[in-house]
Amino acid sequence: MLLDPRNTLTDVYFRTGFQDRSHFIRIVKKHTGRTPGELKRLLLALLS
């Protein structure tokens, strides 16, 4: 989901069951060391 450029971060966190954007951001950053936006930009750049 995160790699689909049509999906916003709001789409991703709602579809993954999070109700709170800030909680989603904290969990992603805790596990990856990057915010969801940073992670999405990095992964999309690597795939292009």
Work out the mean pLDDT of the chain and round it to a whole number: 91
pLDDT of residue 48: 85
User: Is pLDDT at 2 greater than 90 in this prediction?
Assistant: no
User: pTM of the entire structure?
Assistant: 0.80
1 inside domain? no
Q: Classify residue 17: in a domain, yes or no.
A: yes
Classify the C-alpha dihedral 42-27-32-34 as positive or negative: positive
Residue 38's pLDDT is 95
Q: Measure CA 47 to chain center.
A: 16
Phi, psi of 17 (to 5 degrees): 95, 0
- What's the domain range around 23? 9-47
Evaluate whether residue 42 is within a structural domain. Answer: yes
| Under 8 Å between Cβ of 9 and 44 | no
